[in-house]
Amino acid sequence: MNFEVDKIRQDFPILHQQIYNRPLVYFDNAATTQRPKQVIDALNKTYTEYYGNIHRAAHFLADKATEAYEGTREKARNFINAETREQIIFTKGTTESINLAAFSFGEAFVQEGDEIIVSEMEHHSNIVPWQLMAARKGAKIVMLPIDNDGRLLIEMLEQLITKRTRLIAVAHVSNVLGTINPVKQIARIARNNGVRIFVDGAQAAPHLRIDVQDMDVDFYAFSAHKMYGPNGVGVLYGKTELLEQMPPYQGGGEMISEVKFSGTTYNELPYKFEAGTPNISGVIAFGAAIDYLRNTGIETVAAWEHELLSYATAALNQIPGLRIYGTQAEKSGVISFNVEGAHFFDLGTMLDKFGIAVRTGHHCADPLMDHFGIQGTVRASFAFYNTREEIDRFVDALKKVIAMF
Ligand code: PLP
């Protein structure tokens, strides 16, 4: 495909450096992506031109900051095709979005003896908040298993759903396997059974077109730092009828309507869920990241990353003793693997000496590691600024490292 990756790379200052005298190859994008200068400039501009505390302000700087902050809300709404801006709640990341949803949904809708279905391939961030809520409410967590290709056993879902099931929590894209889950289909099954669905979109929002209305999901969460934006910013999308019935997650400024010692009333959506001074500059700069992704074109991004995935998979499959985890067809640009006779941690540490940044370990997905009977993997994850030449360098370095064992 014809993609001007060199032009894109010019926008990312951090990529142009040597690590241990070798050109940096950054393949840790599933953990966090790098930022283009447009995002860095937006952050800089906020601090140098119009920083002030947002909402309820009577002065120019605060007004401008409020306008820019709320401008990002509209961009985020548009990015996932939510119906209204009230459905976009800013958090500090996917993890906080899930904690918010689990707490508040639990308070409003979960009773003792109820059940929450959570898939086996989830990141700990989409397991533990549900466990905490379940422990508080006397509810039960039920696991939806995967097969050995890393595919969710959707056909088991209807059997797992009971009269007590309240919600299904599932990742749109697995951070370990790269599996793209059929969220629309899962949402349909959930809806037909009167069950709600929460989707962890942390690994999908940077790589796929997201349409929450088309998928018809109840909740969707993602993080700016995995989408070329600042860290410390995330989004929780929720259906209005649910958000309205859910109590606040935290108390403090912004989320109130009126405070009296005799009782407090809460602000309207989305402010009911945004207590305290938020990450103002981060949210504003996130707007620049969304613009950047849109201007590049999410379909273009997806197509290029798919090419990189196919190219890297073919090359890695040539290496004797290398096993890739996550081999189903619908997959995003993540490759987790192990090599017989070599520990993943040693592989990662030695690749680093070749200037290649990968991640090693359990990737915050212990149940998934247990499924495959492993402690961890090496994970290479791609972004649209990566190139085939970088994959060549990575594969070449990996072969050299393996030869040392
Ligand atoms: N869910 C998935 C699938 C992830 O990959 C991650 C981060 O790696 C998270 C949730 C947590 O995201 P954050 O650390 O931005 O809150």
Query: 384 Cβ partners below 8 Å, 6+ apart?
Result: 3, 5, 8, 296, 300, 301, 304, 305
Interatomic CA distance for residues 94 and 116, integer angstroms:
19
Would you state the pLDDT for residue 254? 87
Burial of 380: CB neighbours in 10 Å, binned 0-12, 13-18, 19+: buried
Confidence band for 332, pLDDT divided at 50, 70 and 90: very high
Interatomic CA distance for residues 336 and 380, integer angstroms:
6
Q: What are the angstrom distances between the C-alpha of 240 and each of 37, 74, 152, 246, 278?
A: 35, 16, 29, 10, 21
Helix or strand (DSSP H, E) at 264: strand 263-266
Which tokens in the block code for residue 398?
């990996």
Phi, then psi, of 149 in degrees rounded to 5: -85, -5
Beta-strand relationship, 165-171 and 196-200: parallel
Would you state the pLDDT for residue 138? 98
Q: Hey, whose CA ends up nearest to atom 6 of ligand 1?
A: 202
CATH code of the region 5-27+298-404: 3.90.1150.10
Would you state the pLDDT for residue 356? 98
Task: Please check the confidence at residue 105 and state whether its pLDDT lies above 90.
Answer: yes
**For residue 369, which amino acid is it?**
M
Beta-strand relationship, 219-223 and 196-200: parallel
Pocket test for ligand 1, best of 183, 279, 364 (most atoms within 8 A of CB): 364
Within 13 Å, how many C-alpha atoms sit on residue 348's CB side?
20
Confidence band for 1, pLDDT divided at 50, 70 and 90: confident
Measured from the Cα of 226, ligand 1's closest atom is 15
Would you state the pLDDT for residue 280? 98
Please check whether residue 142 is in contact with residue 185, taking contact to mean a CB–CB distance below 8 angstroms: no
Confidence band for 244, pLDDT divided at 50, 70 and 90: very high
Interatomic CA distance for residues 253 and 330, integer angstroms:
44
Candidates 42, 173, 293, 364; catalytic one: 364
Interatomic CA distance for residues 92 and 99, integer angstroms:
11
Measured from the Cα of 95, ligand 1's closest atom is 16
What is the CA(122)–ligand 1 centre distance, in A? 10
CATH code of the region 41-294: 3.40.640.10
As a whole number, the mean pLDDT across the chain is 97
pLDDT per position as a tens digit, 133-173: 999 999 999 999 999 999 999 999 999 999 999 999 999 99
pLDDT per position as a tens digit, 178-212: 999 999 999 999 999 999 999 999 999 999 999 99
**Rounded percentage of the chain residues whose pLDDT exceeds 70:** 100
pLDDT per position as a tens digit, 85-100: 999 999 999 999 999 9
Q: Where are the domains of the chain?
A: 5-27+298-404, 41-294
What is the CA(309)–ligand 1 centre distance, in A? 21
Which tokens in the block code for residue 37?
């200068």
Task: Please check the confidence at residue 57 and state whether its pLDDT lies above 90.
Answer: no
Would you state the pLDDT for residue 28? 98
Interatomic CA distance for residues 47 and 61, integer angstroms:
11
Would you state the pLDDT for residue 79? 98
Task: Please check the confidence at residue 2 and state whether its pLDDT lies above 90.
Answer: no
Task: Please check the confidence at residue 393 and state whether its pLDDT lies above 90.
Answer: yes
Helix, strand or coil, per DSSP, at residue 373? coil
Measured from the Cα of 363, ligand 1's closest atom is 8
Measured from CB, residues less than 6 Å from any atom of ligand 1 are 31, 93-95, 123, 125-126, 171, 175, 200, 202-203, 223, 225
Would you state the pLDDT for residue 54? 95
- Give the helix ranges, DSSP H, for 208-254: 212-215, 240-245
What is the CA(238)–ligand 1 centre distance, in A? 18
Would you state the pLDDT for residue 279? 98
pLDDT per position as a tens digit, 283-319: 999 999 999 999 999 999 999 999 999 999 999 999 9
CB atoms within 10 A of CB 234: 30
Please check whether residue 364 is in contact with residue 380, taking contact to mean a CB–CB distance below 8 angstroms: no
Task: End-to-end CA distance of the chain: give it in Å, rounded.
Answer: 37
- Judge whether 364 counts as a catalytic residue: yes
Domain 5-27+298-404 and domain 41-294, same fold? Reply is no
Q: Is the peptide bond before 270 cis (omega within 30 degrees of 0)?
A: yes
